[in-house]
Amino acid sequence: MSDQSRTVLDRLDAVRASGRMPFSVEFMPPRDEAGEARLWRAVRTFERMDPAFVSMTYGAGGSTRDRTVRVTGEIAATTTLLPVAHLTAVNHSISELRGLMGAYADQDVRNVLVLRGDPPGDPLGDWVRHPEGVEHANELVELVRELGEFQVGVASFPEGHHRSPDRDTDVRYFVQKLRAGADYSITQMFFDVDDYLRLRDAVVAADPEQGAKPLIPGIMPITSLKSVVRMAELSNAKIPDAMRDELRAAAGDGPEEDRAAVRAAGIDIATRMAERLIAEGAPALHFCTLNFAKATSEVLDNLSMLPTSV
Ligand SMILES: Cc1cc2nc3c(=O)[nH]c(=O)nc-3n(C[C@H](O)[C@H](O)[C@H](O)COP(=O)(O)OP(=O)(O)OC[C@H]3O[C@@H](n4cnc5c(N)ncnc54)[C@H](O)[C@@H]3O)c2cc1C
């Protein structure tokens, strides 16, 4: 339905040219029919809000591979949205990775976010490369670039990747990944805007040309204290003390957290983070949605970022 020769960079420019701040949203591959129905409700809701692009994560080890490729292709074919397919090297040989890229190309999906991936089961565990696969994302960027038909994004880590010995080393490898041919990056979700700004400035200082590529901040509107604490553990993100206190105060002292109050605080926090990121010149905002549209749309509404037709 939409023109899939468009790229993420084209879309960022087009949205900005229309006078709006670009945003994008991240979906997860559905596991079953019910999950797929929920995903499509979110897809259709976001379609009316005109995101610059939507991205679809890739399950560890490709467990939901066929469904992921099919659904991403259906988004390309039946909506006005521009899908970006996440691609990871976990448990895949180079020839399987080539096959996967071929499957995306066949579905007219031309934008990919290239990742190394995490060990299935324990995302913070030791990385073991497939014997005929790649060790790091920069090799996968080169591989996808060789295929010629894709615009490539990569991951970045405002707090540093959990396996990096220090932030400087992390920045060095990130810059190497950009030089390998990535056009932009999307960050890991974070809760301290200073971490994002520190990374941005470090990349510009290390290599101004690579530093000019969009570094799109990942934002997760918090809707539950319990689940954000778990998610922060899994992704190694730190929640600043003041933010944790704000959420705890909202949660209350009862045996169950006050979900409505935590949700309201979470939307407020995401709005404040976004306002500061926009003021600092972030090129777009990328929202982790968990396939729900409501929280993200409330943040966008607070920021007056929804098209007037919504
Ligand atoms: C926006 C975003 C989306 C994501 N989507 C998914 C998803 O869909 N599915 C999924 O399974 N995971 C996903 N992840 C998680 C990601 O796969 C993991 O965080 C993974 O551990 C790192 O992936 P990477 O592509 O950054 O790897 P790399 O760039 O390979 O980096 C991994 C580690 O190795 C270091 N390093 C990099 N290059 C080299 C080199 N050449 N030599 C030595 N060291 C090097 C880095 O500093 C880092 O410590 C996502 C992460 C982000 C931020």
The question of whether 26 is a catalytic residue gets the answer yes
CATH code of residue 295: 3.20.20.220
Tell me the CA–centroid distance for residue 17 and ligand 1, in Å.
32
- Structural domain contains residue 286: yes
What would the DSSP string read from start to end of 9-39? HHHHHHHHHTT---EEEEE---SSHHHHHHH
What is the distance in A from the centroid of ligand 1 to the CA of 166? 15
Q: Helix, strand, or coil here: 149?
A: coil
- Looking from the CA of residue 137, the nearest atom of ligand 1 is 30
In a domain, 113, yes or no: yes
98 vs 147: CA distance, rounded Å: 8
Tokens 């549209």 found at: 293
Which of 100, 136, 203, when mutated, tests ligand 1's pocket best, judged by the most ligand atoms within 8 Å of its CB? 136
Question: What is the reported pLDDT for 1?
Answer: 55
Which residue, by CA, sits nearest to atom 23 of ligand 1? 116
* Total domains in the fold of the chain: 1
**Token pair of 47 as six digits:** 């379609």
Q: Is residue 260 one of the residues assigned to a domain? A: no
Establish if 307 belongs to a structural domain: no
Q: How far is the CA of 263 from the centre of ligand 1 (A)?
A: 30
Residue nearest to atom 50 of ligand 1 (CA): 155
Structure-token pair, residue 252:
């209350």
Distance 137 CA to ligand 1 centre (A): 6
Taking CA atoms, 102 is separated from 62, 82, 144, 196, in Å, by 15, 18, 10, 34
**CA 134 / ligand 1 centre spacing (Å):** 12
**Residue 214 maps to a domain:** yes
Q: Which domain holds residue 55?
A: 8-222+281-302
196, 187 in Cβ contact below 8 A? yes
Please identify which of the residues 26, 139, 159, 298 carries the catalytic annotation.
26
The residue whose CA is least distant from atom 29 of ligand 1 is 137
Question: Using a 6 Å CB cutoff, which residues line ligand 1?
Answer: 57-58, 60, 86, 88, 115-118, 136-138, 155, 161, 163-164, 170, 173, 176-177, 186-188, 218
Nearest CA to ligand 1 atom 44: 173
CB 283 within 8 A of CB 53: no
Measure the CA angle with vertex 30, ends 217 and 258; round to 5°. 65
Does residue 186 form part of some domain? Answer: yes
Residue 268 domain-assigned?
Answer: no
Assess if residue 91 is contained within a domain: yes
Determine phi and psi for 155, rounding to 5 degrees.
-90, 150
pLDDT in tens, the chain (310 residues): 566 669 999 999 999 999 999 999 999 999 889 999 999 999 999 999 999 999 999 986 556 788 889 999 999 999 999 999 999 999 999 999 999 999 999 999 999 999 999 888 888 888 989 999 999 999 999 999 998 889 999 999 999 999 999 999 999 999 999 999 999 999 999 999 999 999 999 999 999 999 999 999 999 999 999 999 888 888 778 999 999 999 999 999 999 999 999 999 999 999 999 999 999 999 999 999 999 999 999 999 999 999 877 7
